[in-house]
Amino acid sequence: MSKPYPNNPFLQANFAPVQAECDAPDLVVVEGELPRELTGTLYRNGPNPMFPPLGNQHHWFLGEGMIHAIRVEDGKASYRNKWVHTEQYEAQRKAGKRLLPTGFGEAPVEGAENVKRNVANTNIVWHAGKLLALDEGNSPVAMDGDTLETAGPWTFEGKYQGPMTAHPKLDPRTGEMHFFGYMAAGPATPDISYQVVDRNGALIRSDMFKAPYASMVHDFIVTDEHVIFPIFPATIDVDRIMKGGPVIAWDPDAGSHIGIMARDASVDTIRWFKGDPCYVYHPMNAWTTHEGGRTRVIADVMKYSRVPLFPNADGSKAPASLTDEQSLLVRWTFDLDSNSDSYTEEVLTDLGGEFPRFDERFAGHKNRHGYYAAMRRPKEAPGASYDTFVHIDLQSGKRREWEPGVGRYVHEPVFVPRKESAAEGDGFLVSLCYDTARNISDFIVLDTDDISRGPVARVELPMRVPFGFHGNWRNGA
């Protein structure tokens, strides 16, 4: 008899893994019509544990990655999903059981100490002809954009083999990809690496610097002129770990430190601003302004008062869900001509949420339109998640929202322009929606002209897609 999955909220309902890989070439459009101008593929990544945990501990972030792909062309859609075949996946598949833990600080089974840990479960990005599955502790894993077959780790022709954030930034003007890696000099080190890859995939810059302390640095921000490295007090402390404490923990005494440098400058020039303890998993966008003889960096971010899903430094319990406290969209302004190391904050809306996105043709430049997932209804059942899409006009502050209905939950929204020359925000939101009554997921398309009118198309998938993290649209593919 196989070991059952334990009673853990991140292994139940639509957080539970799916065990089947599927290829469905002709999906049913059950509502509306797929826009003819919508041609491409939505890739989606998330944790999908292939075997039950070793013990009773399990963290949502540590399940093996599975990619889901919905291809749209000529008003039709197809679906395919596959696990990412990392070294971890291959070793466990061969053994027929779990070898590496899904709890932070747990040891692997005896004999598996040298199996490389890589879940590749957080994001999936298309760049320079490669589909890259990402977590934040390893090199990316290259996959075939059509078949989803795994090619293997990608180390930029051997020029960089360290960790890579799951949130690289693509410059829409130059085609460059910027990324960083934390703990770049080894476990629990404060060292951060910073890399730039050109539009053809060649590594053209690689630097290293020390952050104020070692922490979990999930994301960062790039403007057309500056790079912003946010360090929040989700600390990784060797002394605490050696005493049996949590690997990653909330330690507000460390404070928030935001490092900013010019893109063409040395990492030695990073200027550190200091703020109250908080945590940001995901920024929306940032840009640089030159007004009144002053240079400012403005960043719109989704801010929590503490890091969700991780315990306090003394080991006391963590919030159980991302939705226990919804982050708020706030605007930080950094005056680079000021002698102060502080920055200002403005709350942009009173409806919290997560997974902020925007029209990424404006990445690093001022944008007007933003999108995110929110929870409007109280947690109505175990496994409840985000239930509303939000479109916010950052200029007027007005919002438009779409709720799919009771028992239906949304994933991260992804913006797709109606055409390459369309005005900012003129296009579609594409995403996934899980229906508890049918125990199945749908691919949905909303017109950004007014998302409150509901889907212009809903396509039934052959299976459910577990709640996960991030995805991206590959245009025309």
Half-sphere exposure of 279 (CA within 13 A, CB side): 24
Residues 53, 67: contact at Cβ < 8 Å? no
Type and span of the H or E element at 90: helix 87-95
What is the distance between the alpha carbons of residues 223 and 378, in angstroms, rounded to a whole number? 37
Q: How far is CA 169 from CA 111, 125, 220, 275, 464, in A?
A: 38, 10, 8, 24, 29
For residue 272, give the nearest of 322, 324, 210, 321 by alpha carbon: 210
What is the distance between the alpha carbons of residues 362 and 394, in angstroms, rounded to a whole number? 14
What is the distance between the alpha carbons of residues 88 and 74, in angstroms, rounded to a whole number? 38
| DSSP at 184 | T
What is the distance between the alpha carbons of residues 337 and 99, in angstroms, rounded to a whole number? 53
* Cα 438 off chain centre by: 27
- 270 three-class SS: coil
List own/partner pairs for 288-297 with CB under 8 A and 24 or more apart.
Answer: 288/223, 288/224, 288/225, 288/226, 289/366, 293/337, 294/335, 294/336, 294/337, 295/335, 295/336, 295/337, 296/333, 296/334, 296/335, 296/336, 297/223, 297/226, 297/228, 297/260, 297/333, 297/334, 297/336
For 244, the token pair is 């049996």
- Per the listing, tokens 């703020």 go with 275
Q: How many CB atoms lie within 10 A of CB 16?
A: 17
For 112, the token pair is 């598996």
Q: How far is CA 14 from CA 3, 57, 294, 326, 470, in A?
A: 20, 19, 49, 20, 16
The alpha carbons of the chain give a radius of gyration, in whole angstroms, of 21
Q: Is the dihedral of CA 322, 325, 331, 333 positive or negative?
A: negative
DSSP string, 207-258: EEEE-SS-B-----EE-SSEEEEEE-SEE--HHHHHTT--SSEE-GGG-EEE
Q: Go through the chain and tell me how many residues it has.
A: 477
218 is in an annotated binding site: yes
Residue ranges for the binding site?
167, 218, 282, 470
Residue ranges for the binding site for Fe cation?
167, 218, 282, 470
